[in-house]
Amino acid sequence: MKTITFAVALSVAAIAFAACGTAPTTTNTNTRTNTAVVNSNTNSMMNMNGSTMNANSMNHNGMMNHSDMKSSPNAASAPYDLQFLDTMTHHHQGALDMAKVAVEKTQNQELKAFAQKIIADQNKEIAQMKDWREKWFAGKQPAMNMEMPGMGDGMKMMMGDKMKKWEATSGKEFDLMFLDMMTSHHEGATVMSKEALTKAERPEIKTLANQIIKAQEEEIKRMQAWKTAWSK
């Protein structure tokens, strides 16, 4: 009888020990998991706030907020070639943002194909400018200059509530507003590029500037023709 009682006591003790040991393990796992999630979220917020394009510079579509653009500190005192690379890269990003909205919303297949071409062409040019920047100006502070000829006029259509109003439209109104905004934007790029032909030191930048002028002046003519035809 004593043997049976002792065996039962040992069994109860074992079960109790197992229960006590399991609870802390589960709690510790949950604690570690929750801590990891918190740390992950904290790091994400820190990275976003610490980057050049932080959460405050993006709109609800994940695109850049161009409504409060300002020149980089001391941008005007940077070498002209650096100013051009940083400023034109930012300018091209504006075209990408508009073109992406157009691809998503327009029902006009000509305009959709046109917007897709803008995305492809300007992504390629952005990649080229970033590559040159890394080779020629590695470690230099940003030099985006809103005072460069063509920059302010080229981006004004994207400032304030203009983009929101455009995104809220549809059909022909949406397409015509896109043509107006992109035409103004292209005109700004050509003005900036024409200045680069006389001010840039690097021949590569002058070659790119000529390419931008030729391509975007042709696209301006196409958009003006479409506007005339689609306004009827």
Q: Which of 15-24, 65-74, 121-130, 135-144 has the lowest mean pLDDT?
A: 15-24
pLDDT confidence of residue 36: 38
* pLDDT at 68 exceeding the cut of 70: no
Tell me the C-alpha distance between 42 and 191, whole Å: 43
Q: Check residues 160 and 182 and name the one with the higher pLDDT.
A: 182
Provide the whole-model pTM. 0.72
Residue environment code for 88-109, b if the CB has 16+ CB neighbours within 10 A, otherwise e: bbbbbbbbbbbbbbbbebbebe
Find the mean pLDDT for residues 109-117: 98
pLDDT confidence of residue 152: 79
Token pair 């107006």 in the structure block, residue: 180
Percentage of the chain modeled with pLDDT above 70: 68
Cα→Cα distances 127→34, 74, 228, Å: 39, 24, 34
Q: Which of 80-94, 111-125, 155-169, 212-226 has the lowest mean pLDDT?
A: 155-169
Q: What is the pLDDT of residues 188-201, one digit of tens each?
A: 999 999 999 999 99
Tell me the C-alpha distance between 51 and 231, whole Å: 43
pLDDT confidence of residue 19: 40
